Every structure is written in C-alpha cells, then in structure tokens.
C-alpha cells in the first residue's frame, strides 16, 4: 500500500486547494507556485508514484488524465491560444511530489526548449 501524498490528501479534502475540475477518477487544482498565468495540476485519485511506475492496466486512467487536462484547458479558455502539458518523472525530470500529475500551463507564450 502506498502512503498518502500531498495530492491524495488534497483529493480527500484534508488539505485545501483551489479545485477547478473533478471527475470520479481525477482532480484538477491550481498550482500553489504557478509557472504561468494558468498552472493547473491534474492528478489521479489513485496514487501512481510516477509515469515510470504506471502499469499497462492503468492505460485508461492515463488517457483520462489527458482528456481532463484538455477539458480544463477549454474551461479556462486556453484552447483558443494554446497550452502545454508536462509530466515530470524522477529528480532530473523535475519531479517533486511522488504522485503522478499533469501540469497544464498556459495564458502566455511558452518558450522552447523549456529549460
């Protein structure tokens, strides 16, 4: 059994967050340290530590996270100008919370490469 994470505690409403969207399997909330005018995290309610640890049986959930990110982007008006989705994996990838999450970034032009 995986221990609770910061994000699972948010999903269980043990820690407050600015929630923008919720489904039975995922939660989307604003990042507390935004890197763009819009910075939302989309997390599965089931703890998957990182994308490298996702199983083939979780493929539908992984796809669901991307569709939720798409829906949130549209809800926040980003679909007209564009947005970026990012998944960090491991310390060199910038992962800081061991709970898979999709960053939805937008609201300004985003440079490439991201640094």
| Residue 81: burial class (beta carbons within 10 Å; 0-12, 13-18, 19+) | exposed
Annotation marks residue 64 as catalytic: no
Q: Are 18 and 30 in contact (CB under 8 A)?
A: yes
What is the spatial distance between Cα 42 and Cα 40, in angstroms, rounded to a whole number? 7
What is the spatial distance between Cα 10 and Cα 29, in angstroms, rounded to a whole number? 9
Of these residues, 21, 39, 99, 101, which one is catalytic? 101
User: Which residue numbers are catalytic?
Assistant: 101
């Amino acid at each position: 059994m995986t221990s609770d994470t910061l994000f699972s505690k948010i999903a269980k409403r043990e820690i407050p967050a600015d929630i923008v969207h919720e489904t039975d399997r995922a939660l989307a909330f604003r990042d507390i340290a935004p890197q763009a005018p819009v910075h939302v995290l989309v997390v599965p309610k089931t703890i998957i530590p990182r994308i490298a640890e996702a199983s083939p049986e979780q493929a539908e959930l992984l796809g669901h996270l991307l569709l939720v990110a798409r829906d949130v982007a549209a809800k926040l008006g980003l679909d007209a100008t564009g947005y970026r989705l990012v998944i960090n994996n491991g310390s060199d990838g910038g992962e800081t919370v061991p709970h898979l999450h999709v960053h939805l970034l937008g609201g300004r032009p985003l440079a490439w490469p991201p640094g």
